[in-house]
Chains A and B, each alone.
Chain A
C-alpha cells in the first residue's frame, strides 16, 4: 500500500504533511498526530516501529476519501468497532470484554458478535444486570494489569456505576500516588435515538466530564470508531468511549492496514474560512447537512469533529479560531452543563482576542427527551437551526 491518506490542504503552516507507507499489516501501526510527533505505544510485546513519517489529521470526508476507491474494505460502524476490538483481543491476551449480553447474545448492538465463540467465556463475559458491580469489577481487574472493556448496554445505565467510575476509575491513580493504573475502557451507546424515551436518551458525557483522571472520546464514523477503540484499549488511562445509537449503521470504506488514532486529537472534517463549527458524534451529520445548504448560500464553514471530549484539543480548535474568528458549537448535550458549555468557556478563556463575535452554542433543550417524534425532533438541534446560526454569526 503506497499512500493511505490525502493531506488536508487548508491548514496552518506549522503543520507538516507526509505520506505514510506501510509495509506489512499487523506489524506496523502508527498514531496520527497533528504535529507529526511519533508516539510510543505503551505496550508489551508489540513492535512500535515507527520509522515512517506520520501524517497529520486525515480528512474523512467523502470527497477526500482516505483510500482510493478500490483499496480498503467497506463496513458498518458497529463492525468497525468489532474489528478494532477483535484485533486488540488477538494482540493482547489481557483484553477482555464484560457487559450485559455481550457474549452469547452477541451484543445488543452486535458490536461483540462472534467474539464469544472465538475467545471463550472468560474473555467475553456475560454479566448479570449489575452495573455498579461489574464496572467495579472491571476496575479491580484493571488494577492488577488486565485491560477490561466494560460495555454499558446504554450509557444511561452507567449512572448506576457513577461512584465506581468517578471515585475508583478516575481517581485511583492519583490517590494511590501512582501505584495503580486503570487501563479500562468503558463504552456504550448514548444520545438521543428514535423515540426511545427519556431514560434511554441520555447524554452522559456532560455528567462524566468533570471527573479528573479519565479521558473521554466520541466516535462518529467507522474510520474513527475503529481507530479510537484501538487507541482506548491501548491507553494506560481510563477511557470512556461514547458511541451513538443512531450511528451504528453508517457505512464507510476503511483501510485494510492497522491504524490507531490519537485519543486527544480533533478531526478536520471540512476546512473552511468563514466560521468554525465544532461538533461531535451524531451532530456532525446534522452539521454536514447544514454545510451543504451553507455552501449553496455562499458560506465556507470549517467543520471540526472534536472527537476528544476530555481533554479538548485546543490546539486544533485554536488554530481554527485564529483563522475564522467565529465559532459555532453544535452538540447534543443539554444546554446546562454540557460539553458545549465547557467548550465555550475554554475557548473564551484562551482565544477571546481572536473572536469577532460571541460564541454561539447550539445544544439540546433542557428537557427530558419526550417520546413523541415531533417533540423529540425539537429537542435536538436540527440543520435549519445551524444554518440560521451561521448566518447570524457571519453578519
Chain B
C-alpha cells in the first residue's frame, strides 16, 4: 500500500528519500533520521474564533517529521485529484466526480489529531478523506473507474468510498444525510463507552439542512461525542453562501452547541482545532467546527466553477492561501528541507499516482454476477431463487 504504515529506513542525511521511504499518513512514527523528533511550535495563520467556548491557543505543537508528512500527503492528494480530473476528461471516470483540491488541509490536519478508532464520515467529496483514513491510491482509481479492485468493488463510485478498518464511514451522495448517520456513530461510541469521537463532515450547502439541526439537538440532549465539521468552501454548487444562508456564520448556527471557526487552509490550525474538539466533545457533547476552506475546481466535473465566481478570486486564493504552499514555506523557513527535496517529493508523488492509475487500469470490470452480490447479507437465508426454489436465479456470496 502506498500510504501504508511506517517507514523503516534510516537515512541520515536526506530526510525524504524516494521510493523506499514512505511517510505515512499515520504521522509521528516515521523514520528515525538524524533530524529526529525535532519539535516545533508554529502559530496558526489567524486566531480561532469561538462561540460558547474558549478557543484553543494559536501555538501548535508539531515536529519536522510531521510537517514533512503533511507536505507529502497533501501533495499526494493534490496530484490524485488532478489526475482524476484528467481521467474524467478522458471518459474513464463517469457520472459525478467531486474534487477536493484546495481543501486537502482539512483531511490531513484532522487525521493528524485523531486515531483510527475515531470515526470520520463525510459527503461525496470523499476521495482525499478516504486516502487519509488509510485507503490506497489503487483502490481510489479502481473505484473511480468502476473496477473490482476498487474500495467498494466498483459498485459505489466516486461518492461511495468506505473503509471499515480505517473508521471511514463514507461517502454519501445525498446532501446532509450523513450528519444523522455521524451522530449515530457517536451514539454507538457512547453506548460502547469507547472514549472515541466521530467527525461528521458536511459542507456549507448542507448546513441549511433540517436533519442537521435535528441530529445536533439529539446529540446535545444525549451528550454524544459528535463533532460536526462544516467544510465551508463558500459555494453550495453554484450558490454562494450569502445567497443560501441568512446567517453564514456556520460555527454559530449550533446555537446552544459551541462552535469554533478555523482557517481550513492552514493544516496546523485544523490539527489544533480537531485535537481540541476531540477533548471537548468527550467531556461536553457536540461541538461545531467551521473550516474556512476553498475548492479550486467547480462543484463537480460538470461544473466549470467560473460562472459564479471570478477567475481572479480562484487564483487569488491559490496564491495567498494554498495549503501546500503554506507548508512548503514553513519547511523552507525552518530549514527542514530544501527546494530541491520538495520538488523531488512532488515528482515522486506524481510517479506514485501514475503507477497507481496504471495498476488500476489493469484491474477487471466487475462480473455480471456481481450485480447481485451484497444486496443482502447472507443471514436468515435470503436467497434469490427462482419461484420453485430449484433453479438459482442469482449467485449470492
CB distance A35 to B382 under 8 Å? no
CB distance B379 to A168 under 8 Å? no
A142–B169 alpha-carbon span in the complex (Å): 12
CB distance B218 to A318 under 8 Å? no
Name the A residues within 8 Å of B379 (CB-CB).
42, 234-237
Verify if B185 is at the interface (C-beta below 8 Å from A): yes
A96–B333 alpha-carbon span in the complex (Å): 55
Q: How many residues of B contact A (CB 8 A)?
A: 59
CB distance B169 to A140 under 8 Å? yes
Verify if B238 is at the interface (C-beta below 8 Å from A): no
Q: How far is the CB of A48 from chain B (nearest CB, A)?
A: 12
Verify if B153 is at the interface (C-beta below 8 Å from A): yes
Name the B residues within 8 Å of A215 (CB-CB).
376, 382
CB distance A132 to B387 under 8 Å? no
CB distance A136 to B377 under 8 Å? no
CB distance A134 to B151 under 8 Å? no
A39–B383 alpha-carbon span in the complex (Å): 13
A314–B385 alpha-carbon span in the complex (Å): 9
Name the B residues within 8 Å of A318 (CB-CB).
387-388
Name the A residues within 8 Å of B170 (CB-CB).
172, 176
Verify if A207 is at the interface (C-beta below 8 Å from B): no
Which of B177, B185, B188, B374 is the one whose CB lies under 8 Å from A167? Answer: B177
Name the A residues within 8 Å of B376 (CB-CB).
173, 213, 215, 237
A293-333 near B? 1/0 per residue, CB < 8 Å:
00000000000000000010011001000000000000000
Which residue, of B153, B154, B173, B385, has the highest number of chain A Cβ atoms within 10 A?
B153
Q: How far is the CB of A15 from chain B (nearest CB, A)?
A: 12
Name the A residues within 8 Å of B397 (CB-CB).
178
Name the B residues within 8 Å of A145 (CB-CB).
188
A132-157 near B? 1/0 per residue, CB < 8 Å:
11111111111111100000000000
CB distance B180 to A174 under 8 Å? no
CB distance A130 to B191 under 8 Å? no
Name the A residues within 8 Å of B378 (CB-CB).
236
Verify if A164 is at the interface (C-beta below 8 Å from B): yes
Which of B180, B221, B374 is the one whose CB lies under 8 Å from A140? Answer: B180
CB distance A177 to B155 under 8 Å? yes
A119-131 near B? 1/0 per residue, CB < 8 Å:
0001001011010
Which residue, of B173, B181, B221, has the highest number of chain A Cβ atoms within 10 A?
B181
Also in contact, A137 and B187, with CB within 8 A (given A164-B180, A213-B376, A234-B380) = yes
Chain A residue, CB-CB nearest to B216: A133
Which of B162, B188, B381, B382 is the one whose CB lies under 8 Å from A144? Answer: B188
CB distance A163 to B174 under 8 Å? yes
Which of B183, B188, B222 is the one whose CB lies under 8 Å from A146? Answer: B188
Name the B residues within 8 Å of A127 (CB-CB).
218
CB distance B180 to A134 under 8 Å? yes
Name the B residues within 8 Å of A368 (CB-CB).
none
Also in contact, A177 and B185, with CB within 8 A (given A31-B380, A143-B169, A146-B191) = no
In residues 144-188 of chain B, which contact A (Cβ within 8 Å)?
A: 150-157, 160, 162-164, 169-174, 177, 179-185, 187-188
CB distance A315 to B156 under 8 Å? no
Chain A residue, CB-CB nearest to B159: A175
CB distance A141 to B389 under 8 Å? no
Name the B residues within 8 Å of A253 (CB-CB).
none
CB distance A177 to B150 under 8 Å? yes
Which of A140, A177, A263, A346 is the one whose CB lies under 8 Å from B156? Answer: A177
Q: List 13 A-B contacts (CB under 8 A).
A: A125-B222, A140-B184, A173-B377, A178-B373, A178-B374, A179-B164, A212-B375, A234-B380, A237-B382, A263-B382, A264-B380, A315-B387, A350-B387
Q: Hey, which bits of chain B sit against chain A, CB under 8 A?
A: 119, 121, 150-157, 160, 162-164, 169-174, 177, 179-185, 187-192, 210-211, 214-215, 217-218, 221-222, 373-382, 384-389, 397
| Given A132-B211, A213-B375, A346-B387; 20 other pairs, CB 8 A cutoff | A125-B222, A127-B218, A128-B218, A130-B214, A133-B214, A140-B187, A141-B185, A143-B185, A146-B188, A146-B192, A167-B177, A168-B172, A174-B375, A175-B156, A178-B374, A235-B379, A237-B382, A264-B380, A314-B388, A350-B387
9 cross-chain pairs, A with B, having the tightest CB-CB distances, nearest first: A140-B184, A136-B180, A133-B214, A137-B184, A130-B214, A140-B181, A177-B153, A177-B152, A350-B387
